[in-house]
């Protein structure tokens, strides 16, 4: 099946894959398309109806300012940072036409376990990628240093929120190649009451 065959729901799911943000080019999604993607992402499984996630879209006009803030934070957290390190932070923020920061926003102490709320935030990231693919864009869900920095998190939210990922979205600048996937014989099992999971 061709990668770009999105004619049915199953082919859509079977063909989604991530692209490298540095290879993404314009056009990116419009503000209206981004809002539609976020609305789809919010239709994720959510035990307790808590909406334990937040989406922060970084407009194109604000990307340079975000890059400068993140470079400043990187230098504060890593005093031995080189100019090349700071350039990498700049490139990270400015790559791809669109950026949505997804936050895990759990309600601590709620009867719904924290782990379930965090899993829901991950599912929201995945739904955002599916929405991008359905609209004929390519997406990429990245973490890295910035996702684990409290100071970077504070640019978008506040504790106990955490950054679940930086989701970059754009048009593929090159053909996407299918990556190796786990063989079902290795990753899928059938539970047997006598032996437990078996191939």
CATH number assigned to the domain comprising residue 167? 3.40.109.10
Question: Is residue 146 domain-resident?
Answer: yes
Question: Is residue 132 domain-resident?
Answer: yes
Give the count of beta carbons closer than 10 Å to the beta carbon of residue 90: 18
* pLDDT higher than 50, residue 13: yes
Question: Is residue 177 domain-resident?
Answer: no
Q: What residue numbers bound the domain in which 44 lies?
A: 19-57+96-171
Burial class (CB in 10 A: 0-12, 13-18, 19+), 27: exposed
pTM above 0.85, yes or no: yes
Question: Is residue 68 domain-resident?
Answer: no
Question: Is residue 148 domain-resident?
Answer: yes
Question: Is residue 12 domain-resident?
Answer: no
Tell me what the mean pLDDT of segment 24-49 comes to: 97
* pLDDT higher than 60, residue 19: yes
**pLDDT tens per residue, range 86-111:** 999 999 999 999 999 999 999 999 99
Phi-psi region of 82 (alpha: psi -120 to 50; beta: other; left: phi over 0): beta
The domain total for the chain is 1
DSSP letter for each residue of the chain: --TT--SSHHHHHHH-----GGGEES----HHHHHHHHHHHTSS--TTS---EEEEEE-GGGHHHHHHHHHHHHHHH-TT--HHHHHHHHHHHHSSSEEEEEEE---TT-SS-HHHHHHHHHHHHHHHHHHHHHTT-EEEEE-SGGGG-HHHHTTT--TT-EEEEEEEEEEESSPPPPPP---HHHH--EEETTTEEE-
Label residue 1 by pLDDT band (50, 70, 90): very low
Say what the pLDDT of residue 2 is.
Answer: 44
Question: Is residue 143 domain-resident?
Answer: yes
Question: Is residue 120 domain-resident?
Answer: yes
Within 8 A by CB and 6+ apart from 143, the residues are 163, 165, 166
Q: Return the structure tokens found at 175.
A: 């053909």
């Amino acid at each position: 099946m061709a990668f770009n065959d999105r004619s049915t729901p199953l082919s859509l799911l079977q063909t989604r894959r991530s692209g490298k943000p540095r290879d993404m080019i314009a056009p990116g999604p419009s503000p209206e398309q981004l809002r539609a993607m976020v609305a789809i992402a919010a239709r994720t499984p959510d035990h307790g109806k808590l909406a334990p996630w937040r989406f922060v879209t970084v407009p194109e006009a604000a990307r340079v300012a975000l890059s400068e803030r993140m470079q400043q934070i990187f230098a504060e957290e890593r005093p031995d940072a080189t100019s090349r390190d700071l350039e990498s932070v700049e490139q990270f923020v400015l790559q791809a036409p669109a950026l949505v920061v997804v936050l895990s926003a759990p309600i601590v102490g709620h009867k719904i376990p924290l782990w379930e709320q965090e899993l829901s935030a991950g599912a929201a990231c995945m739904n955002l990628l599916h929405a991008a693919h359905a609209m004929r864009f390519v997406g990429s869900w990245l973490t890295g240093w910035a996702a684990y920095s409290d100071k970077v998190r504070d640019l978008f939210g506040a504790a106990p929120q955490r950054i679940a990922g930086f989701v970059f979205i754009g048009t593929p600048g090159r053909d996407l190649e299918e990556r190796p996937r786990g063989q079902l014989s290795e990753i899928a099992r059938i539970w047997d009451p006598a032996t437990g999971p078996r191939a």
